[in-house]
């Protein structure tokens, strides 16, 4: 057992993690996670990552005659507050729908036993004492994110009970929720109080937009009269430190870093002006990390070419290739030569 401090939050709360790697239930959890993940239902609120969030945001049109308020809700300590018994029942109900979605060679009773073993029989050591987690799911268990998400999907069904004062938009990434309302702030506060009564284990915090803008994940959303504009968001703890140019790493990884950051800018920012500003900032940041001007220019150019040429067809072709992966230590030029020869086999 160990904890990771949330450096961007007041008081530096700890994110508890139980590493299950090497434990007897780890492989079982991986097996169940894969079986359920590949077939689990996706609620309308579900967003996979920042890129999907921006894609969904682009589809929203605002009416000029209406007043909109953006806010975000956060579930406090979701994983540790998931009631395991309820979550297992939710999962079993999903698995045993008339049209069976999860392909596993077990009946309901056997699945319940396996889920119990994976989620309830979690032991860990803290300060030389052995503990057993009696409720909540452990961050570090491969099954935990899926079980938590399925349980949250079930909880979210209570939104249907709202006839009025409900959000126009409700998008959720794990425990972070982005909302748009067309009601006064006082009514939103009433909505907040009501959802905090959904379950004894759930407590939502709320953050309202400031000057028509609010951060969500690593995106800043700003609303104008008729549309939502997206740009990059960096937490106050962001230092601008990336892989240094003089580090003992292959040049292709350094170029790959630049291309990745360029692609991220183009996919998350909604206007050309914002993109250009972000590219200027990227040039300054990479310069501070020791990157030569010609490398920065090359990386940005190649990243922009990739943005233009990316296609689903290419991705599908790549998935069909039989590739064997293995790792070696990096020893500079020798490793580059070795990699080149291996790729020719």
Angle between helices 144-156 and 108-120 (to 10 degrees): 110
Using CA of residue 247, residue 253, residue 258, residue 262, what is the dihedral sign?
negative
pLDDT at 321: 59
CA atoms within 13 A on the CB side of 250: 15
Full pLDDT tens readout for the chain, 345 residues = 677 787 767 787 787 787 778 777 888 899 899 888 877 778 889 999 999 999 999 988 899 889 999 999 999 989 989 999 999 999 888 876 645 556 677 788 888 999 998 888 878 888 888 888 888 888 888 999 999 999 999 999 999 888 888 999 999 999 999 999 999 999 999 999 999 999 999 999 999 999 999 999 999 999 988 899 999 999 988 999 999 999 998 899 999 999 999 999 999 999 999 999 999 999 999 999 999 999 999 999 999 999 888 754 455 555 555 677 777 777 777 776 777 777 766
Give me the torsion for CA of 243, 249, 252, 254, rounded to 10°: 10
Measured CA to CA, the distance from residue 157 to residue 171 in angstroms comes to: 13
In three state form, how does the secondary structure of 124-155 look? EEECCEEEECCCCCCCCCCCHHHHHHHHHHHH
Residue ranges per structural domain of the chain: 2-230, 251-317
Hey, is 158 helix, strand or coil?
helix
Give me the torsion for CA of 80, 83, 144, 148, rounded to 10°: -100
Do 305 and 297 contact (CB within 8 A), yes or no?
no
pLDDT at 96: 63
Q: Which residues of 132-171 are buried (b: 16+ CB within 10 A; e: fewer)?
A: ebeebbbbbbbbbbbbbbbbbbbbbeebeeeeeebbebbb
Q: Kindly report the CA angle at 285 between 284 and 289, in degrees rounded to 5?
A: 115
Look at residues 15, 142, 152 and name the one whose alpha carbon lies nearest to residue 77.
Answer: 15
- The separation between CA 203 and the C-alpha centre of its own chain, rounded to angstroms, equals 20
pLDDT at 143: 92
Measured CA to CA, the distance from residue 66 to residue 72 in angstroms comes to: 20
Element (H, E) at 228: strand 228-232
């Amino acid at each position: 057992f160990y904890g990771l401090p949330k450096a961007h939050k007041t008081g530096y709360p700890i994110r508890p993690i139980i590493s299950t790697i090497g434990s007897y239930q780890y492989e079982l959890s991986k097996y169940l996670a894969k079986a359920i993940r590949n077939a689990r239902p996706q609620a309308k609120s579900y967003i996979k990552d920042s890129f999907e969030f921006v894609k969904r945001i682009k589809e929203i049109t605002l009416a000029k005659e209406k007043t909109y308020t953006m806010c975000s809700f956060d579930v406090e300590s979701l994983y540790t507050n998931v009631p395991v018994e309820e979550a297992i029942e939710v999962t079993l109900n999903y698995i045993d729908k008339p049209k069976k979605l999860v392909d596993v060679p077990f009946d309901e009773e056997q699945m319940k036993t396996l889920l119990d073993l994976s989620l309830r029989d979690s032991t860990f050591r803290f300060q030389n004492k052995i503990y057993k987690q009696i409720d909540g799911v452990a961050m570090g268990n491969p099954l935990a994110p899926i079980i938590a998400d399925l349980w949250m999907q079930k909880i979210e069904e209570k939104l249907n009970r709202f006839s009025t004062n409900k959000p126009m938009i409700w998008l959720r990434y794990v425990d972070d929720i982005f909302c748009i309302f067309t009601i006064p702030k006082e009514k939103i506060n009433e909505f907040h109080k009501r959802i905090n009564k959904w379950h004894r284990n759930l407590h939502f915090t709320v953050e309202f937009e400031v000057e028509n803008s609010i951060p969500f994940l690593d995106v800043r959303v700003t609303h104008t009269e008729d549309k939502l504009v997206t740009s990059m968001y960096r937490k106050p703890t962001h230092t601008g430190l990336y892989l240094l140019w003089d580090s003992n790493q292959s040049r292709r990884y350094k170029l790959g870093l630049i291309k990745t950051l360029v692609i991220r800018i183009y996919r998350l920012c909604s206007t050309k002006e914002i993109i250009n500003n972000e590219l200027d900032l990227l040039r300054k940041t990479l310069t501070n990390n020791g990157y030569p001007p010609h490398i920065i220019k090359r990386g940005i150019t190649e990243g922009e070419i990739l943005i233009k040429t990316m296609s689903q067809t290419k991705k599908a072709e790549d998935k069909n290739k039989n590739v064997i992966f293995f790792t070696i230590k990096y020893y500079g030029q020798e490793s580059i030569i070795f990699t080149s020869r291996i790729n020719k086999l």
